[in-house]
């Protein structure tokens, strides 16, 4: 059957109008943003990153990234973890619980492993919506994003709470990415209240004490001679840190010497639980020298603290250690503080789950208290 040309033209016009009408109807009924379901954020390295409107699957890479996520309701969105620090690395040490967020979020240990950030195939197989990374090099971040074809958001693992405005900026970034702005503000308000409390106590400090922080964890274990010249508990309590900043300028812990420790003349020493046993051994290896020349050892004013750093900074423990240092050196100002209760309050602020101080002290042995080295 031959269809006349006029009829063909009319049929074509009819179907064109029908198709156009259907398209317009779909456009009017489609939910807002359906055709453009993404948004743009500026990360902690100043990079502009396009991300999906809704985030349901996440991978966190490098030190500090997963800890930051643990402060939000985002842990159940984490698809997989790295080997490093999650009980899968080959090591004679059990480092898992040195990061307090892993005590609060033990389910992280059961997640599948991607190995490391270099295992691109494993990351792609998990198909996350976004990746968080604490890598510092912008070109490395851009390259990773290009290779994976997955948005990579940079976080800052090196920021400390003495630069609280940058830390708050980071919390706001995570709140924006995760659509948890209310949680972000809750954290910021809680930390601001703690910092204000420290400030008013510090203003009452009449005689600043001289103190030393040792046994710090930074790229592996060390004894009491790994120190820090930038130790937040000293800054916030108005204490004189007898050690200078890291000579490299990166504000991280570094190795000092017995001679420098003697010259520094500290009246108080605080030893990080991460290396308390190695620090004890280091003390006994030179016990006579320490007892003869270092006032803190002579007076037995040596105290254990919770883990300050492991795979990034335990920011919540920084604040808890500050209260403990205050109770030791300034009892007239911090006498109202029950350190176990205060620790539990701060952990709940950060992790939104209750943690029992005796349990954490058991895992981050020996917890708070005088060093029984004599």
Distances (CA, A) of 281 to 12, 223, 225, 372: 90, 8, 11, 12
State the pLDDT at residue 25: 43
What would the mean pLDDT of 14-32 be, rounded to a whole number? 46
Quick check: is 27 in a domain?
A: no
Same structural domain for residues 210 and 345?
A: yes
Looking at the fold, whether 166 and 235 belong to one and the same domain comes out as no
Q: What is the CATH number of the domain that holds 50?
A: 3.40.50.1980
**72 shares its domain with 146:** yes
Q: Are residues 181 and 104 in the same domain?
A: yes
Same domain, 109 and 231: no
Domain that holds residue 132: 38-188
Answer yes or no: is pLDDT of 286 > 90.
Answer: yes
Residue 188 in tokens: 């910021």
> To the nearest whole number, what is the mean pLDDT of the chain?
90
What b/e readout covers 277-305, taking b as 16+ CB neighbours within 10 angstroms? ebbbebbeeeeeebeebbebbeeebbbbb
Give the pLDDT mean for 248-271.
95
CA torsion 174-136-65-339 (nearest 10°) is -100
Band of pLDDT at residue 350, cut at 50, 70 and 90 = very high
User: Is 199 domain-assigned?
Assistant: no
Could you tell me if 173 and 311 lie in one domain? no
Q: Are 221 and 328 in the same domain?
A: yes
The structural domain count of the chain equals 2
Q: Are residues 160 and 91 in the same domain?
A: yes
Question: Is the domain of 182 the same as that of 284?
Answer: no
The helix (run of H) or strand (run of E) holding residue 258 is helix 258-264
Q: How far apart are CA 52 and CA 189, in angstroms?
A: 28
pLDDT in tens, 196-249: 999 999 999 999 999 999 999 998 899 999 999 999 999 999 999 999 999 888
Are 101 and 235 members of one domain? no
In a domain, 22, yes or no: no
- How do 78-82 and 58-61 pair as beta strands? parallel
Q: Are residues 219 and 294 in the same domain?
A: yes
Whether residue 353 sits in one domain with residue 278: yes
Give the tens place of pLDDT for each residue, 146-155: 999 999 999 9
Higher pLDDT among residues 152 and 34, named by residue? 152
What is the C-alpha to C-alpha distance for residues 186 and 352, in angstroms, rounded to an integer?
Answer: 11
Percent of the chain with pLDDT over 90: 79
User: Given pLDDT bands bounded at 50, 70 and 90, which one contains residue 18?
Assistant: very low
């Amino acid at each position: 059957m031959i269809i006349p040309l006029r009829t063909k033209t009319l049929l074509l016009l009819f179907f064109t109008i029908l198709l156009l009408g259907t398209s317009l109807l779909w456009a009017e009924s489609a939910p807002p943003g359906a055709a453009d379901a993404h948004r743009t954020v500026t990360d902690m390295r100043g990079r502009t990153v396009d991300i999906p409107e809704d985030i349901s699957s996440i991978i966190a890479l490098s030190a500090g990234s997963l800890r930051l996520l643990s402060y939000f309701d985002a842990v159940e969105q984490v698809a997989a973890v790295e080997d490093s620090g999650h009980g899968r690395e080959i090591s004679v040490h059990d480092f898992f619980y040195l990061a307090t967020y892993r005590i609060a979020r033990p389910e992280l240990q059961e997640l599948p492993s991607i190995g490391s950030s270099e295992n691109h195939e494993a990351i792609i197989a998990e198909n996350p919506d976004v990746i968080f990374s604490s890598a510092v090099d912008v070109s490395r971040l851009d390259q990773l994003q290009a290779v994976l074809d997955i948005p990579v958001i940079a976080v800052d693992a090196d920021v400390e709470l003495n630069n609280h405005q940058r830390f708050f900026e980071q919390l706001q970034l995570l709140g924006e990415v995760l659509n948890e702005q209310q949680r972000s503000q809750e954290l910021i308000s809680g930390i601001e209240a703690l910092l204000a409390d420290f400030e008013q106590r510090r203003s009452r400090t009449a005689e600043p004490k001289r103190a030393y922080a040792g046994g710090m964890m930074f790229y592996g274990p060390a004894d009491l001679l790994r120190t820090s010249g930038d130790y937040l508990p000293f800054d916030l309590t108005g204490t004189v840190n007898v050690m200078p900043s890291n000579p490299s300028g990166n504000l991280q812990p570094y190795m000092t010497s017995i001679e420098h420790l003697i010259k520094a003349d500290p009246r108080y020493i605080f030893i990080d639980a991460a290396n308390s046993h190695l620090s004890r051994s280091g003390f006994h290896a030179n016990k006579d020298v320490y007892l003869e020349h270092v006032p803190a050892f002579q007076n037995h004013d040596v105290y254990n603290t919770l883990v300050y750093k492991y795979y990034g900074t335990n920011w919540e423990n920084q604040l808890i250690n500050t209260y403990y240092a205050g109770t030791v050196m300034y009892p007239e100002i911090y006498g109202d503080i029950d350190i176990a209760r205060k620790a539990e309050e701060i952990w709940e602020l950060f992790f939104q789950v209750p943690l029992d101080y005796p349990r954490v002290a058991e895992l981050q042995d020996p917890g708070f208290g005088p060093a029984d080295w004599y």
